[in-house]
Protein backbone atom coordinates (compact mmCIF):
# COMPACT_ATOMS: atom_id res chain seq x y z
CA UNK A 1 0.00 0.00 0.00
CA UNK A 2 2.83 2.39 0.86
CA UNK A 3 4.45 1.66 -2.50
CA UNK A 4 1.16 2.39 -4.29
CA UNK A 5 0.62 5.74 -2.56
CA UNK A 6 4.29 6.60 -3.07
CA UNK A 7 4.01 6.02 -6.82
CA UNK A 8 0.74 7.96 -7.13
CA UNK A 9 1.85 10.93 -5.04
CA UNK A 10 5.26 11.31 -6.69
CA UNK A 11 3.55 11.42 -10.10
CA UNK A 12 0.90 13.89 -8.97
CA UNK A 13 0.97 16.99 -11.16
CA UNK A 14 1.05 20.04 -8.83
CA UNK A 15 -1.68 21.75 -10.83
CA UNK A 16 -4.38 19.11 -10.41
CA UNK A 17 -6.26 21.42 -8.05
CA UNK A 18 -7.27 23.25 -11.23
CA UNK A 19 -9.90 20.49 -11.47
CA UNK A 20 -11.32 21.70 -8.13
CA UNK A 21 -11.18 25.30 -9.35
CA UNK A 22 -12.98 24.53 -12.61
CA UNK A 23 -15.60 22.24 -11.07
CA UNK A 24 -16.24 24.70 -8.24
CA UNK A 25 -16.85 27.76 -10.39
CA UNK A 26 -18.95 25.88 -12.97
CA UNK A 27 -21.04 24.62 -10.04
CA UNK A 28 -21.50 28.14 -8.65
CA UNK A 29 -22.34 29.53 -12.10
CA UNK A 30 -24.89 26.75 -12.64
CA UNK A 31 -26.43 27.44 -9.23
CA UNK A 32 -26.99 31.05 -10.28
CA UNK A 33 -29.32 29.74 -13.01
CA UNK A 34 -32.46 28.53 -11.23
CA UNK A 35 -33.06 25.62 -13.60
CA UNK A 36 -29.59 24.15 -12.96
CA UNK A 37 -29.60 23.77 -9.18
CA UNK A 38 -29.42 19.95 -9.33
CA UNK A 39 -26.47 20.11 -11.72
CA UNK A 40 -24.73 22.52 -9.35
CA UNK A 41 -25.26 20.21 -6.35
CA UNK A 42 -23.95 17.21 -8.33
CA UNK A 43 -20.78 19.11 -9.25
CA UNK A 44 -20.45 20.21 -5.61
CA UNK A 45 -20.50 16.56 -4.50
CA UNK A 46 -17.86 15.62 -7.08
CA UNK A 47 -15.71 18.54 -5.98
CA UNK A 48 -15.78 17.59 -2.31
CA UNK A 49 -14.60 14.07 -3.14
CA UNK A 50 -11.91 15.34 -5.53
CA UNK A 51 -10.59 17.83 -2.97
CA UNK A 52 -10.24 15.19 -0.26
CA UNK A 53 -8.39 12.83 -2.64
CA UNK A 54 -6.04 15.55 -3.86
CA UNK A 55 -5.31 16.99 -0.42
CA UNK A 56 -4.53 13.49 0.93
CA UNK A 57 -2.22 12.71 -2.01
CA UNK A 58 -0.54 16.10 -1.63
CA UNK A 59 0.00 15.50 2.09
CA UNK A 60 1.48 12.05 1.39
CA UNK A 61 3.72 13.58 -1.27
CA UNK A 62 4.91 16.18 1.24
CA UNK A 63 5.66 13.54 3.89
CA UNK A 64 7.44 11.14 1.53
CA UNK A 65 9.15 13.66 -0.76
CA UNK A 66 9.48 16.97 1.12
CA UNK A 67 12.51 18.06 -0.93
CA UNK A 68 10.63 17.66 -4.23
CA UNK A 69 7.64 19.61 -2.88
CA UNK A 70 9.96 22.39 -1.73
CA UNK A 71 11.58 22.52 -5.18
CA UNK A 72 8.10 22.74 -6.75
CA UNK A 73 7.33 25.71 -4.49
CA UNK A 74 10.27 27.78 -5.71
CA UNK A 75 10.78 26.70 -9.34
CA UNK A 76 9.36 28.82 -12.15
CA UNK A 77 7.35 26.10 -13.93
CA UNK A 78 5.71 24.00 -11.18
CA UNK A 79 5.30 26.76 -8.57
CA UNK A 80 2.37 28.55 -10.27
CA UNK A 81 0.71 25.17 -10.84
CA UNK A 82 1.10 24.33 -7.15
CA UNK A 83 -0.64 27.60 -6.26
CA UNK A 84 -3.89 26.14 -7.65
CA UNK A 85 -4.25 24.59 -4.20
CA UNK A 86 -4.95 28.09 -2.83
CA UNK A 87 -7.55 28.97 -5.45
CA UNK A 88 -9.15 25.51 -5.31
CA UNK A 89 -9.45 25.63 -1.52
CA UNK A 90 -11.11 29.06 -1.50
CA UNK A 91 -13.46 28.28 -4.39
CA UNK A 92 -14.62 25.12 -2.63
CA UNK A 93 -15.15 27.22 0.52
CA UNK A 94 -17.25 29.62 -1.58
CA UNK A 95 -19.30 26.64 -2.79
CA UNK A 96 -20.09 25.69 0.80
CA UNK A 97 -21.47 29.17 1.47
CA UNK A 98 -23.29 29.76 -1.84
CA UNK A 99 -24.78 26.29 -2.28
CA UNK A 100 -25.40 25.15 1.29
CA UNK A 101 -25.06 28.25 3.48
CA UNK A 102 -22.42 26.49 5.59
CA UNK A 103 -20.30 29.45 6.71
CA UNK A 104 -18.39 27.36 9.28
CA UNK A 105 -17.00 25.13 6.54
CA UNK A 106 -16.41 28.26 4.46
CA UNK A 107 -14.41 29.81 7.30
CA UNK A 108 -12.32 26.65 7.70
CA UNK A 109 -11.46 26.69 4.00
CA UNK A 110 -10.70 30.41 4.25
CA UNK A 111 -8.12 29.75 6.99
CA UNK A 112 -6.52 26.91 5.01
CA UNK A 113 -6.57 28.90 1.75
CA UNK A 114 -5.02 31.95 3.42
CA UNK A 115 -2.29 29.77 4.91
CA UNK A 116 -1.43 28.35 1.47
CA UNK A 117 -1.56 31.86 -0.01
CA UNK A 118 0.98 33.25 2.46
CA UNK A 119 3.39 30.31 2.29
CA UNK A 120 3.33 29.69 -1.47
CA UNK A 121 3.28 33.23 -2.83
CA UNK A 122 6.14 34.50 -0.66
CA UNK A 123 8.23 31.35 -1.12
CA UNK A 124 8.01 31.64 -4.91
CA UNK A 125 8.57 35.37 -5.33
CA UNK A 126 11.44 35.38 -2.83
CA UNK A 127 13.13 32.48 -4.64
CA UNK A 128 12.57 33.94 -8.10
CA UNK A 129 14.10 37.27 -7.05
CA UNK A 130 17.22 35.97 -5.26
CA UNK A 131 18.10 33.24 -7.78
CA UNK A 132 21.20 33.94 -9.88
CA UNK A 133 20.28 32.07 -13.07
CA UNK A 134 17.35 34.06 -14.48
CA UNK A 135 18.02 33.60 -18.18
CA UNK A 136 15.29 30.98 -18.62
CA UNK A 137 12.57 32.74 -16.62
CA UNK A 138 11.18 34.68 -19.58
CA UNK A 139 10.93 31.49 -21.67
CA UNK A 140 9.05 29.77 -18.82
CA UNK A 141 6.68 32.70 -18.37
CA UNK A 142 3.12 31.85 -19.42
CA UNK A 143 -0.50 32.42 -18.43
CA UNK A 144 -0.04 30.01 -15.54
CA UNK A 145 1.73 32.75 -13.59
CA UNK A 146 -1.63 34.52 -13.35
CA UNK A 147 -2.75 31.77 -10.97
CA UNK A 148 -1.26 34.04 -8.31
CA UNK A 149 -3.90 36.60 -9.27
CA UNK A 150 -6.63 33.94 -9.31
CA UNK A 151 -5.67 32.70 -5.84
CA UNK A 152 -5.53 36.22 -4.44
CA UNK A 153 -8.97 37.11 -5.81
CA UNK A 154 -10.36 33.75 -4.62
CA UNK A 155 -9.31 34.67 -1.07
CA UNK A 156 -11.00 38.05 -1.55
CA UNK A 157 -14.28 36.50 -2.77
CA UNK A 158 -14.45 34.02 0.08
CA UNK A 159 -13.76 36.85 2.54
CA UNK A 160 -16.69 38.83 1.07
CA UNK A 161 -19.03 35.85 1.29
CA UNK A 162 -18.01 35.29 4.94
CA UNK A 163 -18.45 38.93 5.96
CA UNK A 164 -22.25 38.82 6.62
CA UNK A 165 -21.71 35.93 9.07
CA UNK A 166 -18.94 37.69 11.01
CA UNK A 167 -21.16 40.07 13.08
CA UNK A 168 -18.84 42.58 14.76
CA UNK A 169 -15.94 41.68 12.47
CA UNK A 170 -17.84 42.24 9.23
CA UNK A 171 -16.01 45.50 8.46
CA UNK A 172 -12.64 43.81 9.01
CA UNK A 173 -13.49 41.02 6.55
CA UNK A 174 -14.69 43.52 3.95
CA UNK A 175 -11.58 45.66 4.45
CA UNK A 176 -9.40 42.58 4.01
CA UNK A 177 -11.39 41.52 0.94
CA UNK A 178 -11.08 44.96 -0.64
CA UNK A 179 -7.33 44.95 0.06
CA UNK A 180 -6.88 41.52 -1.51
CA UNK A 181 -8.95 42.58 -4.51
CA UNK A 182 -6.77 45.68 -4.95
CA UNK A 183 -3.57 43.63 -4.59
CA UNK A 184 -4.80 40.99 -7.04
CA UNK A 185 -5.80 43.68 -9.54
CA UNK A 186 -2.38 45.33 -9.37
CA UNK A 187 -0.66 41.95 -9.67
CA UNK A 188 -2.72 41.17 -12.79
CA UNK A 189 -1.46 44.22 -14.63
CA UNK A 190 2.15 43.59 -13.59
CA UNK A 191 2.13 39.98 -14.78
CA UNK A 192 -0.04 40.43 -17.88
CA UNK A 193 2.38 43.03 -19.28
CA UNK A 194 5.21 40.47 -19.01
CA UNK A 195 3.07 37.73 -20.55
CA UNK A 196 1.91 39.85 -23.49
CA UNK A 197 5.52 40.85 -24.15
CA UNK A 198 6.50 37.17 -24.12
CA UNK A 199 3.61 36.30 -26.48
CA UNK A 200 4.32 39.07 -28.98
CA UNK A 201 8.10 39.38 -29.05
CA UNK A 202 9.42 35.87 -28.33
CA UNK A 203 8.90 32.72 -30.36
CA UNK A 204 5.78 30.83 -29.27
CA UNK A 205 5.64 27.42 -31.00
CA UNK A 206 2.47 25.28 -30.67
CA UNK A 207 3.89 23.17 -27.86
CA UNK A 208 4.46 26.34 -25.81
CA UNK A 209 0.97 27.73 -26.46
CA UNK A 210 -0.54 25.60 -23.70
CA UNK A 211 -4.08 25.93 -22.25
CA UNK A 212 -2.49 27.91 -19.41
CA UNK A 213 -2.83 31.02 -21.59
CA UNK A 214 -6.60 30.77 -21.00
CA UNK A 215 -5.79 32.01 -17.50
CA UNK A 216 -5.12 35.42 -19.09
CA UNK A 217 -8.90 35.50 -19.40
CA UNK A 218 -9.67 33.61 -16.17
CA UNK A 219 -7.63 35.97 -13.97
CA UNK A 220 -9.48 38.99 -15.38
CA UNK A 221 -12.81 37.18 -14.93
CA UNK A 222 -12.26 36.35 -11.26
CA UNK A 223 -11.13 39.96 -10.69
CA UNK A 224 -14.48 40.98 -12.20
CA UNK A 225 -16.33 38.61 -9.88
CA UNK A 226 -14.51 39.94 -6.81
CA UNK A 227 -15.35 43.51 -7.82
CA UNK A 228 -18.99 42.63 -8.47
CA UNK A 229 -19.28 41.00 -5.04
CA UNK A 230 -17.83 44.12 -3.40
CA UNK A 231 -20.37 46.27 -5.27
CA UNK A 232 -23.22 44.04 -4.08
CA UNK A 233 -21.97 44.40 -0.46
CA UNK A 234 -21.43 48.17 -0.66
CA UNK A 235 -24.28 48.85 1.78
CA UNK A 236 -22.45 46.84 4.44
CA UNK A 237 -19.46 49.18 4.71
CA UNK A 238 -19.25 52.97 4.41
CA UNK A 239 -15.91 52.92 2.61
CA UNK A 240 -17.31 50.79 -0.23
CA UNK A 241 -20.13 53.30 -0.72
CA UNK A 242 -17.59 56.12 -0.96
CA UNK A 243 -15.52 54.39 -3.64
CA UNK A 244 -18.47 52.80 -5.46
CA UNK A 245 -18.11 54.78 -8.74
CA UNK A 246 -14.41 53.87 -9.04
CA UNK A 247 -15.11 50.26 -8.06
CA UNK A 248 -17.78 49.97 -10.74
CA UNK A 249 -15.46 51.41 -13.38
CA UNK A 250 -12.58 49.07 -12.47
CA UNK A 251 -14.89 46.06 -12.38
CA UNK A 252 -16.37 46.92 -15.77
CA UNK A 253 -12.82 47.33 -17.12
CA UNK A 254 -11.93 43.81 -15.97
CA UNK A 255 -15.12 42.43 -17.54
CA UNK A 256 -14.26 44.16 -20.83
CA UNK A 257 -10.72 42.73 -20.68
CA UNK A 258 -12.14 39.27 -20.04
CA UNK A 259 -14.51 39.59 -22.98
CA UNK A 260 -11.69 40.83 -25.20
CA UNK A 261 -9.52 37.81 -24.42
CA UNK A 262 -12.21 35.31 -25.51
CA UNK A 263 -11.89 35.68 -29.32
CA UNK A 264 -8.08 35.80 -29.10
CA UNK A 265 -7.67 32.59 -27.10
CA UNK A 266 -10.16 30.83 -29.39
CA UNK A 267 -8.20 31.97 -32.46
CA UNK A 268 -4.88 30.92 -30.92
CA UNK A 269 -6.27 27.47 -30.13
CA UNK A 270 -7.65 27.19 -33.66
CA UNK A 271 -4.16 27.99 -34.94
CA UNK A 272 -2.59 25.44 -32.56
CA UNK A 273 -4.90 22.50 -33.23
CA UNK A 274 -6.31 23.31 -36.67
CA UNK A 275 -3.45 24.91 -38.58
CA UNK A 276 -0.46 23.39 -36.76
CA UNK A 277 -2.22 20.04 -36.13
CA UNK A 278 -1.03 19.80 -32.53
CA UNK A 279 -2.31 16.50 -31.02
CA UNK A 280 -5.60 16.96 -29.18
CA UNK A 281 -5.21 14.56 -26.27
CA UNK A 282 -6.20 14.95 -22.62
CA UNK A 283 -3.90 17.06 -20.50
CA UNK A 284 -4.57 18.19 -16.94
CA UNK A 285 -3.90 21.73 -18.19
CA UNK A 286 -7.24 21.66 -20.04
CA UNK A 287 -8.92 22.39 -16.71
CA UNK A 288 -7.25 25.79 -17.07
CA UNK A 289 -9.54 26.26 -20.07
CA UNK A 290 -12.71 25.11 -18.30
CA UNK A 291 -12.15 27.45 -15.35
CA UNK A 292 -12.22 30.75 -17.32
CA UNK A 293 -15.41 29.76 -19.16
CA UNK A 294 -17.18 28.98 -15.88
CA UNK A 295 -15.76 32.12 -14.28
CA UNK A 296 -16.97 34.26 -17.18
CA UNK A 297 -20.50 32.93 -16.70
CA UNK A 298 -20.35 33.56 -12.94
CA UNK A 299 -18.82 37.05 -13.14
CA UNK A 300 -21.21 38.18 -15.90
CA UNK A 301 -24.19 37.12 -13.79
CA UNK A 302 -23.00 38.90 -10.64
CA UNK A 303 -21.93 42.01 -12.51
CA UNK A 304 -25.32 42.08 -14.22
CA UNK A 305 -26.96 42.07 -10.78
CA UNK A 306 -24.56 44.66 -9.39
CA UNK A 307 -25.03 47.10 -12.29
CA UNK A 308 -28.63 46.15 -13.08
CA UNK A 309 -27.72 45.15 -16.62
CA UNK A 310 -29.88 42.24 -17.78
CA UNK A 311 -27.78 41.80 -20.92
CA UNK A 312 -24.92 40.52 -18.76
CA UNK A 313 -27.24 38.01 -17.09
CA UNK A 314 -28.33 36.79 -20.53
CA UNK A 315 -24.68 36.37 -21.54
CA UNK A 316 -24.14 34.30 -18.40
CA UNK A 317 -27.10 32.06 -19.29
CA UNK A 318 -25.48 31.16 -22.62
CA UNK A 319 -21.93 30.77 -21.33
CA UNK A 320 -22.89 28.37 -18.56
CA UNK A 321 -23.88 25.83 -21.22
CA UNK A 322 -20.53 26.25 -22.96
CA UNK A 323 -18.75 25.85 -19.62
CA UNK A 324 -20.74 22.72 -18.76
CA UNK A 325 -20.11 21.11 -22.15
CA UNK A 326 -16.39 21.85 -21.87
CA UNK A 327 -16.35 20.44 -18.32
CA UNK A 328 -18.06 17.22 -19.43
CA UNK A 329 -15.71 16.71 -22.41
CA UNK A 330 -12.63 17.36 -20.26
CA UNK A 331 -13.92 15.10 -17.48
CA UNK A 332 -14.49 12.26 -19.99
CA UNK A 333 -10.99 12.83 -21.32
CA UNK A 334 -9.58 12.64 -17.78
CA UNK A 335 -11.39 9.38 -17.01
CA UNK A 336 -10.39 7.78 -20.33
CA UNK A 337 -6.79 8.82 -19.65
CA UNK A 338 -6.87 7.10 -16.27
CA UNK A 339 -8.33 3.95 -17.86
CA UNK A 340 -5.69 3.85 -20.60
CA UNK A 341 -2.88 4.24 -18.06
CA UNK A 342 -4.35 1.46 -15.89
CA UNK A 343 -4.64 -0.92 -18.85
CA UNK A 344 -1.09 -0.07 -19.94
CA UNK A 345 0.28 -0.87 -16.48
CA UNK A 346 -1.64 -4.19 -16.37
CA UNK A 347 -0.32 -5.42 -19.71
CA UNK A 348 3.13 -3.89 -19.43
pLDDT at 279: 86
**Pair 176, 159: CB distance under 8 Å:** yes
For residue 231, the SS3 value is helix
Over the stretch 60-86, which tens digit does the pLDDT of each residue have?
A: 988 888 998 899 998 877 899 999 999
Over the stretch 37-65, which tens digit does the pLDDT of each residue have?
A: 999 999 999 999 999 999 999 999 888 88
Q: Residue 37: CB partners within 8 Å, gap ≥ 6?
A: 30, 31
Q: Please count the other Cβ atoms lying within 10 Å of the Cβ belonging to residue 333.
A: 16
Q: What region, left, alpha or beta, does residue 43 occupy, with left being phi > 0 and alpha being psi -120 to 50 degrees?
A: alpha
75 or 105, which is more confident: 105
Give the DSSP per-residue string, 132-177: S--TTHHHH--GGGGHHHHHHHHHHHHHHHHGGGSGGGHHHHHHHH
Over the stretch 276-320, which tens digit does the pLDDT of each residue have?
A: 889 888 888 899 999 999 999 999 999 999 999 999 999 999 999
For residue 241, give Cα distances in angstroms to 73, 76, 225, 338.
39, 40, 18, 51
pTM, two decimal places: 0.93
* Distance separating alpha carbons of residues 207 and 191, to the nearest angstrom: 21
- Cα 53–Cα 62–Cα 154 angle in degrees, nearest 5: 60
* Distance separating alpha carbons of residues 123 and 100, to the nearest angstrom: 34
* Distance separating alpha carbons of residues 270 and 331, to the nearest angstrom: 21
Amino acid sequence: MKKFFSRVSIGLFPGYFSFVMATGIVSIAAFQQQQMAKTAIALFSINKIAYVILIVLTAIRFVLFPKKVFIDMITATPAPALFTITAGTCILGSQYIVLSGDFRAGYAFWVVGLFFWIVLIYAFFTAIIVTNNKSSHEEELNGGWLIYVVGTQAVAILSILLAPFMARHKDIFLFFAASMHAAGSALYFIIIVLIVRRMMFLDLPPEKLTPRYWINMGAAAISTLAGAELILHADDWNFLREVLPALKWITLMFWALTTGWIPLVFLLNTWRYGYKHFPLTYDVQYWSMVFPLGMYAACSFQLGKAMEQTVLIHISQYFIYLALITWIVTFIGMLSGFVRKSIYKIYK
